[in-house]
């Protein structure tokens, strides 16, 4: 089914190391107004065959993280420091050509909106074939056959004919499938899906997610799913990373984070989400305030200006000292564990139902 062959020269990855390991990643953009610290010391690991969800508001740094993994940031205005180890290879340290060889091949990305992410000027088939030809050296004919195969695999009916269609001739869901086909054409080991279903109808969303899951099982890829939709996250991911103002503020398995959230920001995210079991007329609780400026982040805990529980912390610690995120399961918050538990049980849990 696949003609992709791995060369033996690639050093065998250390079994103990995770497939993707991001260590103290910092992504800073220099702008006319100053330096924007879009990602500021982010670390996480991802195993093969696993799915990591990253949630957070717009501007929390989740998309930037993924673009910098792919090396798609603007090299002139962006500095990336830290380590991005993919299969033992540090991506911050390889040449543009090497990255090009990896992109679309070993790692691929699914964009939020296939309408804008597929070029309107070329047929779907051509856009799927392109990376395949480039990465495998396949001929046009082979690549076309592969494109048809991939379209079939992602559930496009009559792929033989639709392969010559242009993206605008596809429906929204079909386009998204086509883009998934384009991303998966070289059997990537790492798949980054940036809000892959946001632009779609709810029914189609489920189909797409199912498709991704099936494909993951087939190829054994690692997936990073970026979303702000916690409903999607619950059914799909293994681990969850909550980001706020360029940093991870809570981490754990999806169960842990959703059932026992520890960070007030996570509480806020969960509370602002409608659920079927809630009473009609019950108010959603949006997080007050707006996301902080990344040019000039607040001192101490970046969330403190919006945090309802900051005064529960003694000595105004929240305003001048940044809480650290412990390794493994945990949250970056100064609230002592007992108070946290108390607040969660009294105020948050009832709302989550």
Partner 1 sequence: MLQFLIRRAFGAVLTLFLISAVTFFMFFAIPQDPALLACGKNCTPDALAVIHQNLGLDKPVPVQFWDFMVGVFAGRDFAVGHCDAPCFGVSFATQQNVWDTILDRFPLTLSLSIGGLIVFLIVGLGAGMIAAAKKGTATDKVFSSASLVLSSLQIYFLGPVVLGLFVYSTGWLDKPKWVPISESVSGWFMGLLIPWLVISVIFTANYTRMSRSTMIEQLQEEHVRAARAKGMSRSYVFFRYAWRGSLIPIVTILGMDLGALFGGAIVTEFTFGLPGIGRLAVQSVQDKDLPLTMGVMVFSAAFILLFNVIVDATYALIDPRVRLS
Q: Give residues in contact with partner 1 (CB under 8 A).
A: 70, 72, 76-77, 96, 100-105, 108-109, 111, 113, 116-122, 127, 130-131, 134-135, 166, 168-169, 179, 182-183
In the complex, the smallest distance separating the C-beta of residue 208 from partner 1, rounded to whole angstroms, is 17
CB closer to partner 1 out of 141 and 168: 168
CB closer to partner 1 out of 109 and 209: 109
Across the chain, which distance is largest between two alpha carbons, in Å?
70
Which candidate, 204, 344, 179, places its Cα nearest to that of 266? 344
Pairwise CA distance, residues 240 & 261, whole Å? 11
Percentage helix, strand, coil, to 5, in the chain?
Answer: 40, 20, 40
Pairwise CA distance, residues 93 & 68, whole Å? 12
In the complex, the smallest distance separating the C-beta of residue 117 from partner 1, rounded to whole angstroms, is 4
CB closer to partner 1 out of 178 and 310: 178
In the complex, the smallest distance separating the C-beta of residue 5 from partner 1, rounded to whole angstroms, is 17
CB closer to partner 1 out of 194 and 250: 194
In the complex, the smallest distance separating the C-beta of residue 202 from partner 1, rounded to whole angstroms, is 23
CB closer to partner 1 out of 91 and 108: 108
In the complex, the smallest distance separating the C-beta of residue 119 from partner 1, rounded to whole angstroms, is 4
Instruction: Show the tokens assigned to 187.
Output: 């059997």
Which candidate, 193, 237, 241, places its Cα nearest to that of 22? 241
Pairwise CA distance, residues 209 & 168, whole Å? 22
In the complex, the smallest distance separating the C-beta of residue 49 from partner 1, rounded to whole angstroms, is 22
Is the separation of the CB atoms in 46 and 52 below 8 Å? yes
CB closer to partner 1 out of 38 and 230: 38
End-to-end CA distance of the chain: 46
Pairwise CA distance, residues 274 & 249, whole Å? 22
């Amino acid at each position: 089914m696949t003609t992709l062959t791995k060369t033996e020269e690639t050093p065998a990855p250390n079994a103990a190391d995770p497939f993707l390991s991001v260590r103290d990643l910092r992504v800073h953009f220099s702008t006319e107004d100053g330096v924007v610290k879009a990602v500021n010391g982010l670390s996480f690991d991802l195993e093969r065959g696993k799915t990591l969800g990253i949630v957070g508001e717009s501007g929390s740094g989740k998309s930037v993280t993924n673009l910098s993994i792919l090396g798609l940031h603007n090299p002139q205005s962006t500095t990336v420091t830290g380590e991005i180890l993919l299969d033992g290879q540090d991506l911050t340290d390889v040449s543009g050509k090497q990255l090009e060889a990896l992109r679309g091949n070993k790692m691929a990305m699914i964009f939020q909106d296939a309408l804008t992410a597929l070029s309107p000027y070329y047929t779907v088939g051509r856009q799927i074939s392109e990376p395949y030809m480039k990465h495998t050296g396949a001929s046009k004919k082979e690549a076309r056959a592969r494109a048809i195969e991939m379209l079939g695999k992602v559930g496009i009916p009559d792929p033989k004919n639709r392969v010559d269609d242009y993206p605008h001739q596809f429906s929204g869901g079909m386009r998204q499938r086509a883009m998934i086909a384009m991303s998966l054409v070289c059997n990537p080991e790492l798949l980054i899906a940036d809000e892959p279903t946001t632009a779609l109808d709810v029914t189609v969303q489920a189909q797409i997610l199912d498709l991704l899951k099936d494909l993951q099982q087939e190829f054994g890829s690692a997936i990073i799913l970026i979303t702000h939709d916690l409903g999607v996250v619950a059914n799909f991911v293994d681990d969850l990373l909550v980001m706020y103002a360029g940093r991870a503020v809570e981490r754990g398995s999806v169960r842990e984070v959703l059932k026992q959230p520890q960070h007030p920001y996570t509480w806020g995210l969960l509370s602002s989400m409608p659920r079927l079991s809630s009473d009609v007329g019950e108010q959603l609780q949006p997080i007050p305030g707006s996301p902080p400026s990344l040019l000039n982040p607040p001192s101490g805990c970046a969330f403190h200006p919006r945090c309802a529980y900051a005064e529960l912390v003694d000595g105004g610690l929240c305003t001048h000292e940044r809480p650290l995120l412990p390794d493994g399961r945990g949250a970056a918050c100064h609230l002592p564990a007992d108070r946290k538990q108390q607040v969660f049980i009294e105020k948050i849990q009832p709302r989550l139902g």
